[in-house]
Amino acid sequence: MSIADSSETKKLSDSRSISTSTSSSSSSSSVRKFSIGHILLDMGKITPVEAERILRLQKESGLRFGDAALKLGLITEADIQLVLAQQFDYPYLLPGQGNHPPELVVAYQPFGAQVEVFRAVRSQLMLRWFTSGRKALALVSYDPSDGVSLFAANLAVVFSQLGERTLLIDANLRCPHQHEIFNIKNKQGLSDVLADRANIFEVISRIESFVDLSVLPAGTLPPNPLELLNRASFDELNEQLANQFDVILYDTLAFSSGSDAIAIATHTEGALIVTHKNNTRVNDINVMNEQLKYSGAEIVGSILIDF
């Protein structure tokens, strides 16, 4: 972290300077862009006057800027973690930001034990599936209450945090959820593209809160979802998207609600089974296994979740 000396007068790259008084601008201090001080100022965590106090203590004690600010009680450890995340291109959200559900834990609790599970799943999928040239994967579950949509959303975010150009597609054309999770419009989406009613790249939404994450909502709820998903144009769509994205995840309808997931897994050629603790029965898993294998899709693995 690079902090400007409090005895020097330097300009921020955006021409902002920190002054203790309007009458002594020559003795004002500033911090360089992308340093912890600059980011804390931009975030409104500290004021210019407080920054001067921190810089003075930093010079007197030899502490780093962040440690000096902590010692003065002007910021919290959570503030430091948030700044470091920005410096290392690993953005996450504070509670209340983004208006996403709290269950999007990778966004709100990036250093928690639960998020490590998503990172472990990401690592396994990179090794077992995505490194061999494959780019699309269907996430399937048996029951609507198994939580596959939230799992898909969290997994998409951790893939994007790895620097992979990630696209999350809401392929649940009967009861979609991703537009609600990410607060995007659902006027047009996958169904409209498959029905030749919309251009694919005009209905994909870039999620600015995260690195390299885009979402394709379900779109208009059609009267014939299974027929749309079985169209040959689905394969053409996958080819188009594979040229633009590194990882493409499909959120699908639960098995107990229809055969849509099988159609999608046939196109992606692979599926990850998502089960829920104390909810998914062993027989349900066996049913999914059998039907997916019969469709020709490879079962990449299975995951047990409890949120």
Please give the order of strands across the beta sheet that includes 298-305: 205-206, 213-216, 166-170, 247-251, 136-140, 270-276, 298-305
Closest Cα to residue 252, out of 231, 279, 232, 272? 272
Which DSSP symbol is given to 95? T
Task: Tell me the CATH class for 105-305.
Answer: alpha beta
Where are the CATH 3.40.50.300 domain residues in the chain?
Answer: 105-305
For residues 140 and 148, the answer to whether their CB atoms sit within 8 Å is yes
What separation in angstroms does the CA of 184 have from each of 92, 140, 159, 197, 241?
A: 18, 23, 20, 19, 20
| Residues of the chain with confidence (pLDDT) below 70 | 1-34, 85-98
The per-residue pLDDT for range 244-284, each reduced to its tens digit, is 999 999 999 999 999 999 999 999 999 999 999 989 999 99
